[in-house]
């Protein structure tokens, strides 16, 4: 062995004994180490600096605000007509499977009537579910999904709702158009009330109601206040990125999310979800895939370096498609982006302007509006607030 080591020695002045070879290796290592150490240090410094810059941008990002004192006037006659239209919708005879049948007629094979709304354990792997990465699928995340499903005690629509022979859904958007219509009483009468992200009920119940069946959101959208959660709510998590899985697991297990994980969210996320795990569900990513690629016919995802593609639907339009899979009849309220009125309030609960929608790069709200307009005009869904198409 020592002779073999001697034959590989590159120092001609050495007798090639083991101590000399060790000294030579240490010397060479010392010569190489400073540049490598410098490179690694530089990389770490740049990474930390980049994360810090992103964090500062998050803290200082402020959108233009509208003066809520100048909210547009709501005609009292329009208020009466909107309330009457909502009551007429509720008093009509409920038509079983109407939403699914209508969607299938409108979109053919692009709409799957058998699509399950929530992720649940299965004996066989659904290949379609793992074809794409989040939010359109769980590619490369099968182990994380399995870990979440193992700690969730229930995965289906609650039995008391699933057993109803005909269910009416209302998806309540966050639009400023809800202010002043006083639709709260009517909205509370629907069998299933779907709310989006952190849209508050406290202080706004006269206009948006106070009944919540489903709160559908991603981590950054989840309400921060415990007051916005009710013990029987169904919390439906929409997973868009890798850290969303970590966040949901922490919420289910009532654990603290590490600080370094929180850095990867673009805004503050809830520290806990005050609901029993049996009330938590994971949205089937195939609902998002169906919404984006089949119904809206967006381009499929390319390399992450290809730039923004606007192929991710908003939570609102995803919720509408989900509702057609859950309920027999579907209504909307609080939907409609009127980009021609940039100074009008975007939401019913804050002072953000409609103009903010022109700066976002992820969603194609024009295409979504065309879809919703088609659904309303074809009679697939009803628009109770008239933001998409007014029928009252």
Domains of the chain, by residue range, sit at: 2-57, 72-383
> Which is more confidently placed, 31 or 253?
253
- Give backbone dihedrals phi and psi of 172, rounded to 5 degrees, phi first: -100, 110
Inter-CA distances, 374 with 68, 153, 243, 261, Å: 31, 39, 36, 41
> Which is more confidently placed, 319 or 354?
319
List the helix and strand counts (H, then E) for the chain: 13, 7
Report yes or no: 166 and 94 within 8 Å, Cβ to Cβ: yes
CB burial of residue 9 (10 Å; 0-12, 13-18, 19+): middle
Question: 225: which residues sit within 8 A by CB, 6+ positions away?
Answer: 200, 202
Percent of the chain with pLDDT over 70: 78
Write down the mean pLDDT value for the chain.
84
- Give backbone dihedrals phi and psi of 116, rounded to 5 degrees, phi first: -75, 135
User: Is pLDDT at 161 greater than 80 in this prediction?
Assistant: yes
Report yes or no: 242 and 221 within 8 Å, Cβ to Cβ: no
> Which is more confidently placed, 342 or 215?
215
Inter-CA distances, 9 with 1, 21, 145, 188, 227, Å: 13, 7, 54, 85, 74
Task: Classify 317 as helix, strand or coil.
Answer: helix
Report the pLDDT value the prediction gives residue 334, as an integer from 0 to 100.
96
Domain 72-383: give its CATH architecture.
Answer: Alpha-Beta Complex (3.90)
- Residue 61: band (very low, low, confident or very high) from pLDDT cuts 50, 70, 90: very low
Section 17-33 average pLDDT: 44
pLDDT tens-digit series, residues 281-326: 999 999 999 999 999 999 887 655 444 466 899 999 999 999 999 9
Among 114-118, 160-164, 330-334, 352-356, whose mean pLDDT is lowest?
352-356
User: Is pLDDT at 26 greater than 70 in this prediction?
Assistant: no
Among 10-24, 133-147, 300-314, whose mean pLDDT is lowest?
10-24
Query: If we measure between CA atoms, which residue out of 379, 390, 382, 389 comes closest to residue 101?
Result: 379
Q: Where does residue 287 fall: left (phi above 0), alpha (psi -120 to 50 degrees), or beta otherwise?
A: alpha
Task: Classify 193 as helix, strand or coil.
Answer: strand
- Give backbone dihedrals phi and psi of 34, rounded to 5 degrees, phi first: -55, -45
pLDDT tens-digit series, residues 178-236: 999 999 999 999 999 999 999 999 999 999 999 999 999 999 999 999 999 988 889 99
């Amino acid at each position: 062995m020592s002779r073999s080591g001697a034959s590989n020695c590159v120092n001609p002045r050495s007798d090639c004994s083991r101590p000399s070879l060790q000294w030579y290796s240490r010397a060479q290592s010392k010569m190489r180490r400073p540049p490598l150490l410098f490179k690694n240090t530089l990389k770490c410094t740049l990474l930390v600096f980049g994360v810090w810059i992103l964090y500062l941008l998050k803290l200082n990002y402020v959108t233009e605000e509208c003066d809520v004192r100048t909210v547009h006037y709501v005609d009292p006659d329009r208020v009466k007509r909107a309330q009457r239209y909502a009551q007429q919708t509720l008093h009509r005879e409920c038509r079983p499977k109407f939403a699914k049948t209508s969607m299938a007629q409108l979109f053919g094979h692009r709409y799957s009537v058998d699509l399950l709304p929530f992720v649940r354990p299965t004996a066989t792997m659904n290949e379609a579910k793992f074809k794409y990465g989040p939010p359109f699928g769980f590619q490369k995340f099968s182990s994380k999904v399995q870990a979440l499903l193992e700690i969730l005690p229930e995965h289906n629509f609650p039995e008391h709702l699933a057993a109803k022979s005909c269910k009416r859904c209302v998806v309540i958007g966050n639009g400023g158009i809800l202010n002043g219509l006083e639709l709260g009483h009517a909205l509370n009468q629907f069998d299933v009330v779907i709310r989006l992200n952190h849209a508050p009920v406290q202080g706004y119940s006269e206009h948006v109601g106070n009944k919540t069946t489903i709160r559908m959101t991603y981590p950054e959208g989840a309400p921060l206040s415990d007051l916005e959660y009710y013990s029987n709510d169904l919390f439906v998590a929409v997973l868009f990125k890798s850290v969303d899985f970590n966040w949901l697991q922490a919420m289910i297990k009532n654990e603290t999310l590490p600080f370094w994980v929180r850095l990867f969210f673009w805004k503050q996320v809830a520290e806990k979800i005050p609901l029993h795990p049996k009330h938590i569900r994971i949205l089937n990513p195939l609902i998002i895939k169906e919404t984006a690629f089949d119904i809206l016919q967006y381009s499929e995802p390319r390399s992450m370096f290809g730039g923004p593609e606007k192929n991710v639907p908003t939570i609102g339009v995803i919720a509408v498609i989900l509702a057609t899979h859950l309920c027999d009849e579907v209504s909307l309220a609080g939907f409609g982006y009127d980009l021609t009125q940039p100074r009008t309030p975007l939401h019913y609960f804050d002072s953000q302007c409609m103009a903010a929608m022109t700066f976002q790069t992820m969603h194609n709200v024009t295409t979504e509006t065309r879809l919703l307009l088609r659904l309303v005009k074809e009679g697939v869904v009803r628009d109770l607030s008239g933001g998409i198409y007014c029928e009252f």
